Amino acid sequence: MKVQPQQRVIGMLGGMSWESSAQYYRLANELLRDRLGGLHSARVLLASVDFAEIEQLQVAEEWEQAGDLLAEVAQSLEAGGAELLVVCTNTMHRVAEQIQDAIGIPLLHLGDTTARAVTAAGLTTVGLLGTAFTMEQDFYRDRLAGHGLTVLVPPADDRAEVHRIIYDELCLGQLREPSRQFYREVISRLVEAGAEGVILGCTEIELLVAAADSPVPVFPTTRLHIEAAVDLSLSP
């Protein structure tokens, strides 16, 4: 009998929004199928929270309360058999340390997986697109800077519209051509400011924006994150 490859169980803390969490699940299974062949699929536990509750805490800047909520869900995933954890959102890595402190399994930090991809491409200066929280607060930019990267963000008006499109359209499954064109223009302005590549630093953005929309390499954080998770799940 052929020995089956061992897989660690990937815990996915999702629902923020479910539109991108669905991509996490799809990509995990596609990657396992491509790597192992046959009928192989990923060993996954998915816990999906109510994003409306999380979004209210974001706006109220109740980050500790949001962290407590997500930490409790992460503990349930660990109790259910998850052997590693991915938090399926860039913004809520604002509370990644709080979540990691609550569990005994490794949390695969999205900022680290993204930064490694950027440095592997030989780039040092990148533009960052994401929610206003991700673009404006230190938690994500500092994580990238810790890998030696210089991070550029759009000006205030552009940041506001990038954020609005994420919450008012992408999180609701709405993909609009005018919004895609706006993102293209923002990317062009980042390139003019010196960006050698652009991080799609919200897991919904790559539903709308692809490599063809940018004159420089883009780094799709959802795909990079789940590729790293699958690598870890298959490692000895």
DSSP 225: H
- Same domain, yes or no, for 48 and 141? no
- 134-180 tens-digit pLDDT: 999 999 999 999 999 999 999 999 999 999 999 999 999 999 999 99
pTM for the model stands at 0.93
CATH of the domain at 68: 3.40.50.1860
Provide the residue type at 91 as one letter: T
113, 114, 131, 202: the catalytic one is 202
Q: What is the predicted pLDDT for the residue at 1?
A: 44
- Same domain, yes or no, for 24 and 103? yes
- Same domain, yes or no, for 116 and 149? yes
Domain of 76? 10-109+224-234
- Same domain, yes or no, for 94 and 134? no
Q: What is the predicted pLDDT for the residue at 236?
A: 83
- Same domain, yes or no, for 117 and 201? yes
Is the Cα dihedral 119, 130, 173, 64 positive or negative?
A: positive
Number of structural domains (the chain) is 2
- Same domain, yes or no, for 130 and 209? yes
C-alpha 129, offset from chain centre: 12
Check if 88 is active-site: no
Q: How confident is the model at residue 5 (pLDDT cuts 50, 70, 90)?
A: low
Q: 178: which 2 tokens? A: 């005018």
- Same domain, yes or no, for 30 and 115? no
What number is the average pLDDT over the span 167-194? Answer: 97
Give the 3-state secondary structure percentages of the chain, helix then strand then coil, rounded to 5: 55, 15, 30
89, 114, 203, 221: the catalytic one is 89
- Same domain, yes or no, for 119 and 215? yes
Q: Which of 161, 205, 160, 198 is nearest to 17 (CA)?
A: 205
- Same domain, yes or no, for 70 and 126? no
Mean pLDDT in the chain? 96
What number is the average pLDDT over the span 33-51? Answer: 95
35 found inside a domain: yes
Alpha-carbon dihedral angle through residues 143, 144, 148, 150, given to the nearest 10 degrees: -130
- Same domain, yes or no, for 32 and 118? no
Q: Which of 131, 133, 124, 127 is nearest to 94 (CA)?
A: 133
